[in-house]
Every structure is written in C-alpha cells, then in structure tokens.
C-alpha cells in the first residue's frame, strides 16, 4: 500500500501521468472514483486541435496544441484520423478576420494555407455553397476513449496499479505535507489507506474539491459544453468557423458519425455530476450547424451530451470562452506551503501528454530522481509501427476493432465462430472483443463496455445490441441479476442523451427500444419486482 506516486483521477491526464511515472520506473497507483473517461475525457468533441482555434486569442495554448498534435500523430496513430481541417468564412462572418487568423497561426508555428472557396467545396462537398473564404490547417479527429485506454494499458504493462471505482475521500496530512490518501472502494464499501511521498491531483473539474480536503483553495470555472451527434458522417474534414471562438462553430467527423459543438456556459459545481442538455442549446447547435453544412437540416440526430471543461477561474468572463486553455501545473508546496501535493489541470485532451510530463518532472525533482521523460517518442500500445505506412497512418480503411485498439486488436479472440459473432452491428463489436474488454481492459459492467468498445454508441443507440451484451456478460460472470441491473442503468444513460432530441425518427426509434426492453423483455416489471423485494 506504499508507492512513490499516487495519481487521483482516471481521465486522459491521470492516465498519462500514471504511464509517464511507470515508464520512468516509479511505483505508481492511480485511483479513479468511477471509470476511466467518466469526466471530460469521455465527453468532448474529439478534435485533435492544430492549435489554429486558439492562435488569435490564446497563442500559448495554440503552440502547445501544435507541438502535441505532431507528437500524437507518431505515438498514438491508431487513435487518430488525419482528416485535416478547414476554417471557413460564411456570409455572417467578417472576412477581414481571415488575415489576422492566418498571421496568428504562422506566428504559433501552425501551417495555415488560404485556399479558394471553390476548392474548399470540392474538398468538402458538404460545405455550404456561399463560403467566402477558407483556410486549410492540420486539425484531425481523435478517439478520446482509445487514447485514454492506451495510456492505462501501457501504465499497467509497466507495473502501475490502476483502480477504478475507488474514490479519494481524504488526503492524509501530517506536519504540513500530504502523505497519502484514504479511498472508498465503491464495489466493496470498504475504505483503504494508501501512502506515497507525492500525490498528483488530476481530478479535472473536481480537483478544487479534492485539494480542499487539505485546506487548499483553487478557484475553478466549470464551463459546460453541449454537443450533438448526427447519425451519419456528413463531413470528411474538421470544419470550423473562421472567427473568434464562439458557440456552435465546429463539426468533427468521428468514425461513422459527425459531432456538432459546442456551447460554453458556467454552471454550478453542484450541477457537474447531474448535467442536463437544454432545448435552447440543441436549437442553437442545430441552427448554427446548418449554416455551415446545410445537409444537417435533414440528417437525423442520434443524441446530445455535455461535458465540463476543467478551467482555472477568471471571473471577468461569464462564459469561460476567453479563459486560457493552457496547462496549469501547481506545486502546492510553493503555492500553499503543503508539501507532497501537485495539481495538474487546464490544458486540452490533446495536450494531456505534455501535462503528464510537467507533473511527473515536478514529482521526480521532489523525489530527487533524474530519469528523463520518454513519452514523446514511445508509441502507445496499439500504435507500434507495423512497418506498413498505410496501416500506421490511414486508420480509416482498417476494421473497427483495429481503429479502437490498434495493433492490440490481434489479441481479440477470433479462433471460433462464436468469438467472431458480431453482437453490435453499428460499431462491429464481436463476442471476442467483449471478452477482450472484460479480461484485459478492466471492464466490469455494460457502461464500462460501452466506453471500451463503443458498443451501443452507433445508429441504433443500443436497441439491438445491449441485451445481447448483457446476456454475454451474465454468462461470463454467472450473475444474471447484476446484468439486469446494468442493463437498466445503461438504458437510462442512453435515454438521457436521446431525450433532448427526441422527435421524428429519433423518437420513433426510442419508442421501439422501449417496446423491446420493457414490453418484450419485461425489464420494467423486473425492476418493479426488485423494488417490492426491497425493505
């Protein structure tokens, strides 16, 4: 129960820190209160920024983005689709801004090529025809789930202990230093103490509450962002409006779907664990999206979801738009007189590796260890070179499992017909992939399965596949009651995302899903039976 480093939080940042520590030979424990990617890392746009979006307003963050963009292409190739991006000027936008934007990109080291609007429409046929200007930049699409899991996998392969469903409830403080943590295991209800000379707080927006346990104050700004998922991939390149960052100005292609986003509104910290998407947010995203890509007006919506950006507070900005997305690494010894505690926050999904490097460098200097960081040059599991450049850099042609797991897909059982059977047609998830997730990726229930395989995230939103997966997990665990409870939880979670956009075809499909699960499978009766059994 004693380690060199304890990391709190299993988002991409915490996973990256655990990996970096493990690669440097430190003994490390990561504690996540729910599941990997439960926070912002599983609720974002999946845009691998070139940095262009921030070039005018936040040049430090823009430089961090382009540096990490280049690194991730080589170490995380299986998580990335190299789509490139366009910043387009629509009739509503100021064309004068284009020159300012291109100059700022160049100043931050970002390639930005002005192209003729007609060429933009040829490259991206979904674009509206009255585009007035277009700039091509090296944006891309990134699979955030795969990125975090590749870091988790590598950390574990290098000896890290990684515990999900473990919530840190206390920081153990003695003599002005944090000496460890107390954590509640949600699966057993037991509390455990873990000790380490250094604890790294990578708890995202919850980081402020966490350090308060040691009497430290950090002012964070919970900036909620809402996104829409369309049922088809309408665009092939990342599309951005060429203007200062604003609401509803990015459309990202992601596998077989497209994601429109985002909004930015400050919410109360008490709302972070119970976020609701509002009608006004959905209307805004739809109407702005249609201006850039008219086809969205007739494309079916699949769901809406929201995440909270872990930003450091700046009360002069009510929306959080102008707060820097730069990395914030706090040494609480120099800041607050509390040794043994580091906070790493701010930043972006795609700057997670740099964030991890900064936090681990600081931890190493405190421990008196001089091992350099190697994460910028060591490929993540799944992205090792196969010697075939096409395979390494063009994941679009690969099987879906390869896109999710890279070269690790070769470990997915496929020797017999049962293992090869597809149980989620939308995302092409096989029985073997479910087994792989359970046996190798710390998957304990259906929601966790969804985060590891994307089962249930496709066009049918789980209508056809979730009961099959529940059955399979019941067979493997020998606990059908648990599978039934998991099934209810997953359907609730899916419905939460469908409800804000439930009209037309989406509503009809949701009704069909309800009929299958409640009518045919009797799930509501099973649930009410269980409630009657309770004292």
Ligand X SMILES: Cc1cc2nc3c(=O)[nH]c(=O)nc-3n(C[C@H](O)[C@H](O)[C@H](O)COP(=O)(O)OP(=O)(O)OC[C@H]3O[C@@H](n4cnc5c(N)ncnc54)[C@H](O)[C@@H]3O)c2cc1C
Residues within window 152-171 making contact with ligand X, judged by CB under 6 A: 167-168
Which two structure tokens, joined as six digits, stand for 518?
């409640």
Q: Which residues contact 322 (CB under 8 A, 6 or more apart)?
A: 57, 314
User: Reduced to 3 states, what is the DSSP secondary structure of residue 377?
Assistant: coil
| List 3, 4, 10, 383, residue binding ligand X (CB under 6 A) | 10
499/397 Cα distance (integer angstroms): 33
Shortest separation between residue 534's beta carbon and ligand X, angstroms: 28
Backbone angles phi, psi at 159, to 5 degrees: 100, 0
Q: Is 8 in the site for ligand X (CB under 6 A)?
A: yes
- Cis peptide bond N-terminal to 39, omega within 30: no
Q: Is 85 in the site for ligand X (CB under 6 A)?
A: no
Q: Is 52 in the site for ligand X (CB under 6 A)?
A: no
- Cis peptide bond N-terminal to 118, omega within 30: no
Residues within window 194-253 making contact with ligand X, judged by CB under 6 A: 202-206, 210, 225
Which two structure tokens, joined as six digits, stand for 513?
């899903």
Q: Is 13 in the site for ligand X (CB under 6 A)?
A: yes
Q: How far is CA 93 from the centre of its chain?
A: 30
531/527 Cα distance (integer angstroms): 6
Q: Is 136 in the site for ligand X (CB under 6 A)?
A: no
Residue 509's H or E segment, with its range, is helix 504-514
Q: Is 350 in the site for ligand X (CB under 6 A)?
A: yes
Which two structure tokens, joined as six digits, stand for 498?
């469908």
Shortest separation between residue 32's beta carbon and ligand X, angstroms: 5
Q: How far is CA 135 from the centre of its chain?
A: 27
Using only C-alpha atoms, the chain has a radius of gyration, in whole angstroms, of 23
Looking up tokens 């424990």 gives 29
Backbone angles phi, psi at 473, to 5 degrees: -70, -35
Nearer to ligand X, 358 or 513 (CB): 358
Q: Is 41 in the site for ligand X (CB under 6 A)?
A: yes
| List 19, 24, 33, 403, residue binding ligand X (CB under 6 A) | 33
- Neighbouring C-beta atoms of residue 181, cutoff 10 Å: 25
User: Reduced to 3 states, what is the DSSP secondary structure of residue 6?
Assistant: strand
Nearer to ligand X, 89 or 240 (CB): 240
| List 7, 19, 23, 39, residue binding ligand X (CB under 6 A) | 39
In 203-321, which ranges are continuous DSSP H helix?
Answer: 207-212, 279-292
Shortest separation between residue 501's beta carbon and ligand X, angstroms: 17
Q: Do 506 and 498 meet the contact criterion of CB atoms below 8 Å apart?
A: yes
Q: Is 500 in the site for ligand X (CB under 6 A)?
A: no
Q: Is 348 in the site for ligand X (CB under 6 A)?
A: yes
| List 22, 23, 40, 238, residue binding ligand X (CB under 6 A) | 40
- Taking residues 300 to 319 in sequence order and writing x for each that binds ligand X by CB under 6 A, - otherwise, the string is -------xxxx---------
Shortest separation between residue 18's beta carbon and ligand X, angstroms: 11
Q: Is 31 in the site for ligand X (CB under 6 A)?
A: yes
| List 20, 26, 46, 358, residue binding ligand X (CB under 6 A) | 46
Of 40-48, 70-78, 90-98, 358-366: span binding ligand X (CB under 6 A): 40-48
| List 9, 255, 458, 497, residue binding ligand X (CB under 6 A) | 9
| List 19, 49, 241, 494, residue binding ligand X (CB under 6 A) | 49
Q: Is 406 in the site for ligand X (CB under 6 A)?
A: no
Whole-Å CA distances, 342 to 4, 160, 192, 336: 13, 19, 21, 11
Q: Is 54 in the site for ligand X (CB under 6 A)?
A: no
Shortest separation between residue 344's beta carbon and ligand X, angstroms: 7
409/388 Cα distance (integer angstroms): 16
Q: Do 108 and 58 meet the contact criterion of CB atoms below 8 Å apart?
A: no
Q: Is 81 in the site for ligand X (CB under 6 A)?
A: no
- Residues in contact with ligand X, counted by CB under 6 A, come to a total of 39
Backbone angles phi, psi at 34, to 5 degrees: -120, -100
Q: Is 44 in the site for ligand X (CB under 6 A)?
A: yes
Q: Do 63 and 344 meet the contact criterion of CB atoms below 8 Å apart?
A: no
Q: Is 11 in the site for ligand X (CB under 6 A)?
A: yes
Shortest separation between residue 127's beta carbon and ligand X, angstroms: 20
510/503 Cα distance (integer angstroms): 9
Q: Is 38 in the site for ligand X (CB under 6 A)?
A: yes
Q: Is 34 in the site for ligand X (CB under 6 A)?
A: yes
Which two structure tokens, joined as six digits, stand for 511?
């009704």
| List 5, 7, 12, 211, residue binding ligand X (CB under 6 A) | 12
Give me the residues that bind ligand X (CB under 6 A), please: 8-14, 31-34, 38-41, 43-47, 49, 167-168, 202-206, 210, 225, 262, 307-310, 347-350
């Amino acid at each position: 129960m004693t380690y060199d480093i304890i990391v709190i939080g299993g988002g991409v940042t915490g996973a990256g820190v655990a990996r970096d520590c493990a690669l440097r030979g430190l003994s490390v424990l990561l504690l996540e209160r729910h599941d990997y990617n439960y926070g912002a890392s599983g609720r974002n746009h999946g845009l691998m920024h070139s940095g262009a979006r921030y070039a005018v307003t936040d040049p430090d963050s823009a430089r961090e983005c382009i540096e990490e963009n280049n690194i991730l292409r080589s170490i995380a190739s299986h998580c990335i689709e190299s789509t490139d991006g366009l910043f387009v000027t629509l009739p509503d936008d100021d064309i004068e801004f284009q020159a300012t934007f291109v100059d700022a990109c160049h100043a931050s080291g970002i390639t930005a090529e002005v192209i003729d609007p007609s060429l933009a429409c040829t490259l991206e046929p979904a674009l509206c025809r009255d585009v007035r200007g277009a700039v091509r930049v090296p944006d891309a699409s990134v699979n955030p789930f795969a990125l975090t899991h590749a870091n988790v996998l590598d950390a574990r392969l290098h000896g890290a202990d990684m515990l999900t469903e473990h919530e840190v409830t206390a920081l153990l403080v003695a003599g002005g230093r944090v000496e460890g943590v107390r954590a509640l295991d949600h699966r057993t209800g037991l509390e455990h103490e873990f000790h380490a000379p250094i604890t790294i707080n990578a708890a995202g927006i919850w980081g402020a509450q966490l350090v308060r346990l040691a009497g430290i104050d950090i002012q964070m700004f919970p900036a909620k962002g809402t996104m829409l998922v369309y049922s088809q991939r309408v665009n092939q390149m990342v599309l951005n409006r060429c203007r200062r960052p604003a609401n509803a100005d990015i459309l990202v292609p992601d596998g077989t779907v497209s994601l429109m986003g985002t909004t930015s509104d400050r919410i109360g910290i008490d709302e972070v664990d119970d976020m609701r998407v509002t009608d006004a947010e959905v209307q805004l995203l739809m109407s702005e999206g249609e201006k850039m890509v008219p086809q969205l007006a007739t494309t079916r919506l699949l769901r809406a979801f929201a995440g909270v950006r872990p930003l450091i507070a700046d009360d002069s900005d009510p929306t959080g738009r102008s707060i820097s997305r730069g990395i914030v690494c706090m040494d609480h010894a120099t800041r607050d007189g509390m040794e043994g505690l580091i906070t790493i926050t701010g930043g972006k999904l795609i700057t997670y590796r740099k964030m991890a490097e900064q936090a681990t460098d600081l931890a190493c200097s405190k421990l008196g260890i001089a091992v350099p960081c190697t994460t910028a040059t060591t490929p993540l599991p799944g992205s090792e070179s196969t010697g075939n450049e096409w395979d390494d850099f063009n994941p679009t042609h690969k099987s879906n499992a390869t896109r999710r797991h890279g070269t690790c897909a070769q470990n997915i059982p496929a020797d017999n017909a049962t293992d090869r059977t597809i149980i989620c047609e939308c995302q092409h998830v096989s029985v073997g992939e479910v087994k792989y997730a359970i046996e190798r990726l710390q998957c304990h229930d259906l929601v966790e399965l969804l985060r590891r395989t994307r089962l249930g995230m496709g066009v049918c939103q789980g209508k056809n596949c979730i009961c099959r997966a529940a059955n399979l997990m019941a067979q493997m665990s020998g606990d059908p009651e648990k599978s039934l409870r998991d099934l209810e939880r997953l359907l609730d979670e899916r419905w939460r995302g469908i409800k804000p956009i439930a009209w037309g075809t989406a509503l009809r499909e949701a009704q069909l899903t309800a009929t299958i699960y409640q009518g045919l499978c009797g799930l509501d009766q099973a649930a009410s039976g269980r409630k009657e059994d309770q004292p």
